[in-house]
């Protein structure tokens, strides 16, 4: 599949932005200035970006507690995200959502979610809306191997098939549901689960942007054409703990180092596009520099922004139609 040059540049920038955003949060969280919990997406960038590169502004996604990467991949503004994570009024949710509840409906981002398996039911609703309105849009649920065992997820797979919804269920399998290996906790196979609900199953290497982009493109096209839902199983690895502060004593010695050295999706992308003459290394260097400046500006602005006040407590609690 030939990918347009503009798409390659935009995709690299999205992956680089996610990486630098998360690496900076890793540093900033240690200062104690960020409230709540933070779950980092480093190492998984090609999955979110590879999927979302196939989506339109009208398409919708639902995320997980590890949602920063999905937000950025769907186009949520970086400065607003950083301010939200710092709990500031200038955040995309006015400082009330924080890391695990970032949402931007204007971008089709229905929200990160602190509930494991909370996204798939939301996507069934969004997909039903798209189908009813006949707007040609699709809904995508990102969820992990831990969430694949939740009743909400299994019910959603069933409902999406019964209603033949334009939905894609992207299982980001990083090998661990918190600290429990998916090889232990997930009975049977994910393929058999998909087949049990009568939906096509696809899988790909989540460290290869091109593999994800192609597989997601096929899955999304299938759903968009009215052929019903698809499960896309993406295999990848997270570089940090389940949450910031996780000592990762459950992981083998050298496991993370090997992932960083041999399975870095940004390094793989850069090698592929430069060796094929699709992009110049200097172009990617310029993106790296621009992203560093963007992240630095976002952190400075977030720290200087005001906190919500008591008068903001009841604002936006109820929707008025």
Q: Which domains does the chain have, with CATH numbers?
A: 5-301 (3.40.50.970)
Question: Cα-flanking dihedrals φ and ψ of residue 90, to 5°?
Answer: -85, 0
Is-contact 307 95, C-beta < 8 A?
A: yes
On the 0-12 / 13-18 / 19+ scale of CB atoms within 10 A, 217 is middle
pLDDT in the model for residue 1: 67
pLDDT in the model for residue 314: 85
Instruction: Name, in order, each residue with C-beta under 8 angstroms of 270's C-beta and a sequence gap of 6 or more.
Output: 12, 281, 284
CA angle 109, 120, 186 (to 5 degrees): 130
Helices (H), 30-139: 45-52, 68-73, 78-85, 119-133
Which of 135, 132, 201, 206 lies closest to 172, judged by CA?
206
Count of Cβ atoms closer than 10 Å to residue 241 Cβ: 19
Which of 134, 133, 137 lies closest to 123, judged by CA?
137
Tokens read off for 111? 């929200």
| 109 three-state secondary structure | strand
Which of 253, 310, 239, 308 lies closest to 94, judged by CA?
308
Beta bridge partners of 168: 140, 230
Strands 230-235 and 201-205: parallel
Strands 139-144 and 201-205: unpaired
Q: What is the pLDDT along the chain (321 residues), one digit of tens a residue?
A: 689 999 999 999 999 999 999 999 999 999 999 999 999 999 999 999 999 999 999 999 999 999 999 999 999 999 999 999 999 999 999 999 999 999 999 999 999 999 999 999 999 999 999 999 999 999 999 999 999 999 999 999 999 999 999 999 999 999 999 999 999 999 999 999 999 999 999 999 999 999 999 999 999 999 999 999 999 999 999 999 999 999 999 999 999 999 999 999 999 999 999 999 999 999 999 999 999 999 999 999 999 999 999 988 888 888 777
Which of 49, 56, 88 lies closest to 71, judged by CA?
49
């Amino acid at each position: 599949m030939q990918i347009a040059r503009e798409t390659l540049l935009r995709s690299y920038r999205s992956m680089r932005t996610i990486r630098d955003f998360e690496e900076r949060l890793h540093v900033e969280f240690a200062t104690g200035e960020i409230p709540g919990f933070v779950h980092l997406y480093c190492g998984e960038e090609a999955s979110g970006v590879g999927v979302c590169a196939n989506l339109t502004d009208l398409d919708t996604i639902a995320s997980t507690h590890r949602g920063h990467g999905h937000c950025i991949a769907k186009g949520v503004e970086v400065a607003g995200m950083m301010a939200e994570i710092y709990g500031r009024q200038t955040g995309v949710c006015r400082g009330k959502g924080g890391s695990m509840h970032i949402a931007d409906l204007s971008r089709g981002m229905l929200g990160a979610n602190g509930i494991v398996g909370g996204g798939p039911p939301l996507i069934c609703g969004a997909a039903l809306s798209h189908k009813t309105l006949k707007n040609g849009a699709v809904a995508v649920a990102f969820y992990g191997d831990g969430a694949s065992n939740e009743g909400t997820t299994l019910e959603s797979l069933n409902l999406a098939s019964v209603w033949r919804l334009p939905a894609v269920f992207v299982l980001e399998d990083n090998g661990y549901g918190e600290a429990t290996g998916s090889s232990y906790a997930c009975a049977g196979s994910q393929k058999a689960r998909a087949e049990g609900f009568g939906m096509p199953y696809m899988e790909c290497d989540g460290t290869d942007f091109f593999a994800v982009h192609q597989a997601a493109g096929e899955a999304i096209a299938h759903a968009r054409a009215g052929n019903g839902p698809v499960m896309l199983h993406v295999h990848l690895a997270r570089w940090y703990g389940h949450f910031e502060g996780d000592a990762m004593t459950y992981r083998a010695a050298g496991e993370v180092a090997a992932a960083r050295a041999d399975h870095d999706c940004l390094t793989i992308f850069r090698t592929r596009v430069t060796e094929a003459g699709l992009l110049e290394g200097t172009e990617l260097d310029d993106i790296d520099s621009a992203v560093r400046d963007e992240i630095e500006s976002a952190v400075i602005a977030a720290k200087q922004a005001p906190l919500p006040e008591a008068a903001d407590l009841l604002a936006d609690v109820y929707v008025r139609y």
